A and B are shown apart, each in its own frame.
Chain A
């Protein structure tokens, strides 16, 4: 087989793989849109669920998802960035406890999400008696995505060239000054991107929330220390109802969920591109 031909075959195989993945996604999206778009109206967004599909909405679920998202960011960013800063800038890597910390973080990223659910149930809901509340859900999701954020933040901090730090130190800046004025500002894009991607993942999580007691039917607006549901759970519960209309409502809710995810990810890409810099 000639070299050019081999090159062509290889390229063909790559395109095929791309096509397969893309096709799957396209089928999914198109199906959902076909079913859901007609049912996507303001009522879906503003009404609470009801047994009447005409007026049923997903408002509590949407609000709960949004609240949890905000809480998640408030928790995960400081803890994640703080840990990353400690590990990258302050920790003596030869010490055993720092190495143990590193190993733990790597492993935590691989733990199945339902395990976090069990953890939350045992320690948060029952252990400290928080109860089956939205706050507990947010905290569980924080733990779930924390390793990802830490890793992303570490990468971002590591990507800042050491020459920048050296330049700062050589001028008489303290370690904290170099960090706060040079390293972290330069790492913000990476940290932001990582955080938003973590958020997108968390929004789609269902199992851990069910474990700690998210309800499937809630008709009033959620509060932080009250019972709650989430959009994926709402979708699931609609799907289980017999009426055909509810299935279509579920499709519409999926569209809403996808929309939220799309917005979040676009924002992440926007930040990444806007603040990308070449050294």
Chain B
């Protein structure tokens, strides 16, 4: 006698085991110092495409410094020195022939405090395409960017109004739209939701979930639950204090699938941090 067939269909994807694709960034032995103080050292990891990678760790561990290396924003800080290698699609990001302006076009950044320009909503989103001389239908680009940032519905009837009149969560989504308008490859987010209320935060997290289909996303967050929710891969950084000089330097402790970091982390420091036992 044969077994009767089951009545329901099983869901095909599981989302438990993240399968990394191609690496977008390959970071090797990266160290950054500001005027002689080493902020972070010896970082080695790969950032994978079409995924969300999170950098977590206590304050001062250098995670913001690290993410700012990925779009060469550290170049703007006087006295900042970057050593080691960052390969972007196999090419040295800090090569002599690389134009940082071009780097920032392809690797966008969203900041902790929403920073819309004091212009209209339209002009905010159009700024990038305009300064980069992108041809084509500007109105279309603006609309598409706003749609992708899940903001179009709320602002389509007031594009000429000042961006400063939007709420915090809307402003942050506007900044994301601004970033999307230049058609980047990677979106870096430095604590994107820490200045927002919980509902806006959840909206941004849902947005990340959608955006990762088409972009590579790297986020820095001091909220590890957020990393647990949104990230496919998580890197945990900690602070090492030099006993002799009392100088603090950030180091990479563990980098793995988020599922693993939050269920069975390999390093005790990681375990202490995610369980909240030790800052």
Contacts and interface: CB of A to CB of B under 8 A. Distances in A.
**Are chains A and B touching directly in their complex (CB below 8 angstroms)?**
yes
Interface of A: 92, 94, 161, 163-164, 166-174, 177, 181-182, 186, 277-279
A238 to B, nearest CB: 49
Where chain B touches its partner, the secondary structure class is helix
A166 B108 contact: no
B111 A169 contact: no
Interface of B: 71, 73, 76, 78, 101-102, 104-106, 108-109, 111, 113, 115-118, 127-128, 131-132, 164, 175, 178-179, 182
B105 A172 contact: yes
Central interface residue in B104, B108, B179, by most chain A CB within 10 Å: B104
Contacts of A170: 71, 73, 104, 108-109, 111, 179
A161 B111 CA distance: 14
Given A170-B179, A173-B131, A182-B117, 16 more contacts: A163-B115, A166-B73, A166-B115, A169-B73, A170-B108, A170-B111, A171-B105, A171-B127, A171-B132, A172-B101, A172-B102, A172-B105, A172-B131, A174-B101, A181-B131, A186-B118
Contacts of A92: 78
Contacts of A94: 78
B199 to A, nearest CB: 24
Please give me the 9 A-B residue pairs with the lowest Cβ-Cβ distance, nearest first.
Answer: A172-B105, A163-B115, A170-B109, A171-B128, A172-B104, A167-B115, A173-B131, A177-B131, A172-B101
A167 B171 CA distance: 13
Contacts of B116: 167
A171 B104 contact: yes
Contacts of A168: 117, 127, 131
B115 A164 contact: yes
Given A171-B179, A174-B101, A277-B118, A166 B127 contact: no
